[in-house]
């Protein structure tokens, strides 16, 4: 009887050791430190879900750009160009009709018709430029054809108005010639031009504009001064 009892005891001891080994191999994870210390304030805060940062590949730009600049996502939005350069070109060529009322002497006025051509260069497409102009008009005086010419150069200032309208002023200085020869004096004199005008461009006209110009022409013929009005209208080509 002692031998079977000893064998049975050995079997039961081996089974107990095996069960304990399996239980230790599947031990539950340790509780946080606060379970032992009771300090709940030191527990790490739970991390929130960052939905704003979640931008999976292939996501629509309209969804991922909610926090961006709404103006940059608008296809109709355009960054405005610097003031003084919008719609400006470096060169302008002008040709037009001119009506000139020449106050020759206090008792003699001469109305003449002709043309006016000019070129203006604005360095860097800015608002100030150099201008050259040639004016020639024709009329009648004492049964003869009269001619007045003025070649001048100077400075022009411009600025943009609404809807592509361009306003400008200028001042020019040059030489004049008047025909025919009269008993009042010579045919050549110093002349100058002061005035301004506007260029109007219609929709779709990028390089063409219509110009209206009003000037005062000062001369010094016949040992006296003349201040004569001039009106010109024509076409401007810009490049």
21 belongs to a structural domain: no
- Res. 112: pLDDT tops 50: yes
- Res. 4: pLDDT tops 60: no
Number of domains in the chain: 1
65 belongs to a structural domain: no
pLDDT number for residue 45? 55
Residue whose pair of structure tokens reads 């005891």 in the numeric block: 9
66 belongs to a structural domain: no
- The CA distance from 218 to 221, in Å, is 10
185 belongs to a structural domain: yes
181, 160 in Cβ contact below 8 A?
no
- Res. 30: pLDDT tops 70: no
* CATH label of the domain that carries residue 102: 2.40.160.20
pLDDT number for residue 223? 83
pLDDT average, residue stretch 224-233: 95
Residues 207-224 have pLDDT tens digits of 899 999 999 999 999 888
205 belongs to a structural domain: yes
- The CA distance from 118 to 91, in Å, is 11
* SS3 readout for the chain: CHHHHHHHHHHHHHHHHHHHHHHHHCCCCCCCHHHHHCCCCCCCCCCCCCCCCCCCCCCCHHHHCCCCCCCCCCCCCCCCCCCCCCCCCCEEEEEEEEEEEEEEECCEEEEEEEEEEEEEECHHHCCEEEEEEEEEEEEEECCEEEEEEEEEEEEEEEEECHHHCEEEEEEEEEEEEEECCECCECCEEEEEEEEEEEEECCCCCCCEEEEEEEEEEEECCCCCCEEEEEEEEEEEEEC
Q: Give the residue numbers spanning the domain of 113.
A: 91-238
74 belongs to a structural domain: no
- The CA distance from 146 to 158, in Å, is 34
pLDDT band at 87 (very low <50, low <70, confident <90, very high): low
Residue that wins the pLDDT comparison between 210 and 51: 210
Residues 120-142 have pLDDT tens digits of 999 998 999 999 999 999 999 87
pLDDT number for residue 79? 45
pLDDT number for residue 44? 55
225 belongs to a structural domain: yes
206 belongs to a structural domain: yes
């Amino acid at each position: 009887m002692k031998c079977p009892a000893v064998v049975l005891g050995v079997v039961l001891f081996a089974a107990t050791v095996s069960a304990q080994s399996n239980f230790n191999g599947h031990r539950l994870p340790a509780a946080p430190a606060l379970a032992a210390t009771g300090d709940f304030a030191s527990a790490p805060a739970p991390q929130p879900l960052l939905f704003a940062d979640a931008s999976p590949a292939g996501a629509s730009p309209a969804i991922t750009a909610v926090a961006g600049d709404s103006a940059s996502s608008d296809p109709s939005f355009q960054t405005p160009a610097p003031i003084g350069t919008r719609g400006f070109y470096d060169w302008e060529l002008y040709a037009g009709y001119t009506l000139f009322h020449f106050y020759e002497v206090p008792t003699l006025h001469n109305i003449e018709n002709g043309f006016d051509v000019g070129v203006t260069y604005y360095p860097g497409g800015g608002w100030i430029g150099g201008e050259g102009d040639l004016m020639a008009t024709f009329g009648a005086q004492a049964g003869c054809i009269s001619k007045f010419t003025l070649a001048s150069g100077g400075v022009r200032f411009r600025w943009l108005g609404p809807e592509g309208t361009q306003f400008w002023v200028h001042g020019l200085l040059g030489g004049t010639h008047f025909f025919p020869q009269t008993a009042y004096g010579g045919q050549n004199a110093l002349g100058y031009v002061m005035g301004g005008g506007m260029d109007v461009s219609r929709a779709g006209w990028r390089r063409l504009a219509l110009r209206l110009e009003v000037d005062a022409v000062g001369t010094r013929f016949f040992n006296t001064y003349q201040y004569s009005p001039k009106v010109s209208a024509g076409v401007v080509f810009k490049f």
